[in-house]
Structure 1
């Protein structure tokens, strides 16, 4: 019975330590974000009586920023391709990234550690995706000014580069044109309608 009580007390103390020790509240990684944008990563935590030892940030398991309150300067940037940290805006719970590029995309992790004697460490991670919008509208070419019934219509629509790749849809009189037989019939009927108006 005494052994059972000892084990129970140890388990309760462990649970209590986890409840009272350092823990993460929110990890905010803006995603998707846009090419060229500047963003703020937030790692919100509570120490619950512990002293902060460090906050470290990783991208794809490579450290790029650390905040150690006892160091000078407390915020330090470790160069990493695609990650441009603004030290003047970064601190114990935020990291500010300037000019997002495609290389900025990846899995970001925040790791918070308490001072001695506990040295308790907690962490969380989230993926950031980077979106690239087309720099201009789609270009349609290959259309002739006139067709006769029975002609094959071969028109090309090209979008500027984007990520993810742009999805192109054709519309005639605000109705989407697909690969179904009905859509093809509608397309030919529409061409015939144009021809009868000329």
Structure 2
């Protein structure tokens, strides 16, 4: 494999009796899912809330189902975070109260670097979806893909230019990647991390 693709090889064991899909599931690997995730963020936190960082996480490895949305923002000279967690088989969806980041992140340096502002309503999910697709294309240049899932996607706003940069992680499997051990399916997969700079240039992190 060419050294332009730096990936992490992992194993995961999944129970055959894993929970089924839900008609209300939001998948952050699709444009429709990203649009729904944005709408959920606007409903939960406020469409006009200005954030300097927004994070989408999936529920687990090898899964694009939205697990949580975390935002970070500056208010009254202090840095806060807030998280929405989606419903699971064991717990209802929850919207946490805002939390003041710990004292280590309230220093002038961190506050100075958290001045970027993006209204949640202005989040460009088309750009996110495009970046994911570009990432998949890069992977396909190096290996055959059977399946891919978006594990996480972060958006950060530059404190000086207000331009957007992103980091995200894709999990991919090759064909014939599974073996059965008892009641478990053992799946081999690769973890690929990407960075998108303020100019929209996408690179594989390594």
Task: Compute the TM-score of the two structures, normalised by the length of structure 1.
Answer: 0.27
Task: Name which one, 1 or 2, has greater alpha-carbon Rg.
Answer: 1
TM-score, with normalisation over the residues of structure 2? Answer: 0.26
